[in-house]
C-alpha cells in the first residue's frame, strides 16, 4: 500500500530525505509526507490510500510521543481496536494506526498479534522498533551509513547510495536497539517433523475461503489476477462467490502475448464460468524487451525466473491501475505449500519433499513475493496473497507429505487442493481448469516470451564476456548469457556489493535441466500443441 523510509540518527538533510523517499513514489502515488521527531529522527511515507482514503495520512502519531510509518494491510485492525486497544483514542480509521497503539500498550511484544502483511517502523524518542510480516510479503531493507545512522526502506533504491552496508530485513523478525533482531514468528509448520496431519478437505476449503474474505477488506475497488492456473482461479472463484453475496461483480485480469496463449485461453474459460467482468491484456515481445532496464530497476533483483515472470505482471499491473483498481488478489504460495512445481515429482522421498516445501515457503520473499510486490507496486497496485494466510499455512504445511506428493496421485500435482474444491453440486471451477497441469506464469503468457528473451540476451552478451563472468561478478556468478545480461543491468543501477548479496537465485532440484522454466521438466505437457489437462481422478487417501 505504500513506500516507507525511516532514518534513525541526527543530522540528515530533510530535503535530501524527501528526494530519497520520492525514488519510491510509484509505491504511493496518492500522498507524501515526512516527519522529523524531536530527537532528529526522520520518517517519510509515500501513500497508496486503500483504508480511510481521506484520513489515513502517514506518518501517524500515537497517543503520546510515538510516531510510525507502515506499508501493508492489517486485516484484524477492527478486532484489535474493539478488544485490546478499546481504551485507546485513535486519530484515524486507518488499519495502520493500530501498530503504534500496540507498541504503546505492549512494548515490543505485539507483532504476533497482527494478522496481515506489513513492514513498519515506530519511533518513540530514541527508542524504536522495526518489523516485517511473517513471510516477507511486504519488502523491507535496512542499512548503516558512515555516521552510524540506521536506515529502513521499502526498496533499496532509497538507501543504497547512502549506506556503507545494507541488507534485506528478515521476515518474521523485529529489530530494536535493545534486542537486535528477534524472530517473533515461530510456527509449528517450520518443523518438518510436525507434518503428520491427515488431509481435511473441508478445513482446506473453509480456511482458504476465510483467508480470501479478509483480503477483500478495502475502501477502494478490488480485482483478481487470473492466469487460468489452479491457484489464481481458486482465489478468483472464492472471491467471486463472496462478492456475489454482497451484490457486487468481480473484475478479473489476464495477460498474454496473443489471444490463444495458454493462460489467456484458460482464464477466459474461468471468467465465463464465474461471471466476472473480465479484461484481457496483451503485450509484445518487443515491448517486454524494451522495458527490461526499467523493470530490473523496479524489481531490485537479477534472478532469471523473477525477471521473466515480472515482465507480463508489470504490463498487467499498469493496465489494471488505469482501470481504477488499486487492490488485487494473487495466487502466490500454493505451489510452494503443496509442492506444485513439476520438479517436485522427482523428490527422492517424502522427507525431501516436505523439507523442500518448507524451504520454498520460507524463501518466497526472495522470489515470487518480491516479484508480486514490486511489479505491481511499480504502478501503485497492491497484491494480496490468500494462500499465505497464517491459519492456512498452519493447516496446509503440516499435512503428511505423502498426501501432498504428486507420486501418490499418478503424477497430479496439488491433488488435495484440487480435491478440496471438487464440489460437483456447486462447482467452483470447470474440471478442465480445476485439473489443469501446472503452467508457470512466464510460460503461460506464451512460450515465445522466454524463447525470445533467451535469444535476445544471447545477442547482447558475447562468448568472451560469459567466459570471464567470474572475474566481473565473483559473487553469484551468472552461468548463462540471459543471467549475465540481467546481472549487468542490475549492476548498472545497483553497483554495491551489498545490493548483489540481497539476491538469491533459484535453481530447480531433482532434474537434469536446471532452467527455472516449468518446461524444463520432462513431465511438462507442451500446451502449444496439447491444451489438455490431467485426467480428473478420485483416490482414497
Catalytic residues: 2
Q: Which of 449, 445, 440 is nearest to 288 (CA)?
A: 449
Helices (H) and strands (E) in the chain, counts: 21, 17
Cell 510436525 -> residue: 194
How many Å apart are CA 305 and CA 371, to the nearest integer?
Answer: 10
How many Å apart are CA 76 and CA 170, to the nearest integer?
Answer: 23
How many Å apart are CA 253 and CA 281, to the nearest integer?
Answer: 7
CB 129 within 8 A of CB 112: no
Q: Which of 524, 420, 446 is nearest to 208 (CA)?
A: 420
* CA angle (161, 307, 476) in 5-degree steps: 60
Q: Residue 141: in which H helix or E strand, if any? A: strand 141-144
CB 93 within 8 A of CB 52: yes
For the record, the C-alpha cell of 320 comes out as 489494471
> In terms of DSSP bridges, do strands 173-176 and 180-183 run parallel, antiparallel, or are they unpaired?
antiparallel
Cell 486503500 -> residue: 50
* Phi, psi torsion values for 350, nearest 5 degrees: -60, -35
CB 484 within 8 A of CB 461: yes
Cell 510480516 -> residue: 133
Per DSSP, which regions of 56-115 are E strands? Answer: 60-61, 67-74
- Angle at which helix 292-299 crosses helix 481-493, to 10 degrees, equals 70
How many Å apart are CA 467 and CA 460, to the nearest integer?
Answer: 14
Cell 568472451 -> residue: 464
Sequence length of the chain is: 541
How many Å apart are CA 96 and CA 70, to the nearest integer?
Answer: 6
| Dihedral angle over CA of 331, 332, 336, 338, nearest 10 | -10
DSSP letter at 180? E
Amino acid at each position: 500500500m505504500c513506500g516507507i523510509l525511516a532514518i534513525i540518527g541526527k543530522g540528515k538533510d530533510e530535503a535530501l530525505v524527501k528526494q530519497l523517499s520520492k525514488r519510491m513514489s510509484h509505491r504511493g502515488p496518492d500522498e507524501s509526507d515526512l516527519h522529523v521527531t524531536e530527537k532528529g529522527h526522520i520518517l517519510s511515507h509515500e501513500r497508496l490510500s486503500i483504508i480511510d482514503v481521506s484520513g489515513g495520512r502517514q506518518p501517524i502519531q500515537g497517543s503520546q510521543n510515538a510516531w510510525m510509518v507502515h506499508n501493508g494491510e492489517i486485516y484484524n485492525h477492527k478486532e484489535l481496536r474493539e478488544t485490546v486497544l478499546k481504551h485507546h483514542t485513535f486519530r484515524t480509521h486507518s488499519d495502520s494506526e493500530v501498530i503504534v497503539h500496540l507498541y504503546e500498550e505492549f512494548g515490543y511484544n505485539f507483532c504476533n498479534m497482527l494478522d496481515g502483511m506489513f513492514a513498519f517502523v515506530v519511533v518513540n524518542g530514541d527508542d524504536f522498533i522495526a518489523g516485517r510480516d511473517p513471510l516477507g510479503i511486504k519488502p523491507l531493507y535496512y542499512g548503516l551509513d558512515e555516521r552510524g545512522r540506521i536506515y529502513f526502506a521499502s526498496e533499496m533504491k532509497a538507501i543504497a547510495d547512502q549506506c556503507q552496508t545494507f541488507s534485506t530485513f528478515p521476515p518474521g523478525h523485529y529489530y530494536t536497539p535493545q534486542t537486535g533482531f528477534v524472530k517473533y514468528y515461530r510456527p509449528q509448520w517450520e518443523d518438518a517433523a510436525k507434518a503428520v496431519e491427515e488431509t481435511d478437505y473441508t478445513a482446506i476449503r473453509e480456511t482458504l475461503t476465510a483467508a480470501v474474505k479478509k483480503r477483500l477488506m478495502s475502501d477502494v475497488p478490488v480485482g483478481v489476477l487470473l492466469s487460468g492456473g489452479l491457484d489464481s482461479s481458486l482465489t478468483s472463484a472464492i472471491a467471486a462467490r463472496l462478492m456475489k453475496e454482497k451484490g457486487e461483480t468481480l473484475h478479473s485480469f489476464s495477460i498474454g502475448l496473443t489471444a490463444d496463449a495458454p493462460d489467456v485461453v484458460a482464464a477466459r474459460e474461468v471468467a465465463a464460468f464465474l461471471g466476472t467482468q473480465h479484461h484481457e491484456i496483451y503485450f509484445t515481445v518487443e515491448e517486454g524487451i524494451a522495458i527490461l532496464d526499467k523493470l530490473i530497476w523496479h524489481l531490485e533483483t537479477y534472478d532469471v525466473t523473477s525477471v521473466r515472470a515480472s515482465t507480463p505482471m508489470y504490463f498487467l499491473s499498469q493496465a489494471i491501475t488505469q482501470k481504477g483498481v488499486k487492490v488485487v488478489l494473487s495466487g502466490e504460495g500454493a505451489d510452494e505449500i503443496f509442492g506444485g512445481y513439476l520438479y517436485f515429482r522427482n523428490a527422492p522421498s517424502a522427507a525431501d519433499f516436505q523439507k523442500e516445501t518448507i524451504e520454498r515457503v520460507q524463501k518466497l520473499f526472495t522470489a515470487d513475493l518480491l516479484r508480486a510486490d514490486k511489479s505491481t507496486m511499480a504502478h501503485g497496485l497492491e497484491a494480496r496473497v490468500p494462500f499465505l494466510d497464517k491459519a492456512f499455512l498452519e493447516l496446509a504445511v503440516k499435512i503428511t507429505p505423502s498426501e501432498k506428493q504428486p507420486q501418490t496421485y499418478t503424477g497430479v500435482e496439488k491433488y488435495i487442493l484440487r480435491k478440496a474444491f471438487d464440489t460437483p453440486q456447486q462447482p467452483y471451477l470447470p474440471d478442465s481448469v480445476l485439473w489443469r497441469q501446472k503452467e508457470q506464469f512466464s510460460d503461460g503468457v506464451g512460450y515465445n516470451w522466454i524463447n525470445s528473451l533467451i535469444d535476445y540476451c544471447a545477442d547482447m552478451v558475447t562468448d568472451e564476456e560469459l567466459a570471464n563472468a567470474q572475474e566481473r561478478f565473483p559473487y553469484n556468478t551468472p552461468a548463462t548469457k540471459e543471467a549475465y545480461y540481467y546481472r549487468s543491468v542490475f549492476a548498472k543501477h545497483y553497483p554495491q556489493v551489498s545490493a548483489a548479496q540481497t539476491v538469491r537465485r533459484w535453481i530447480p532440484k531433482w532434474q537434469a535441466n536446471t532452467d527455472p522454466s516449468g518446461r524444463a521438466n520432462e513431465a511438462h505437457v507442451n500446451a502449444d500443441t496439447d491444451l489438455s489437462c490431467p485426467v480428473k481422478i478420485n483416490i482414497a487417501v
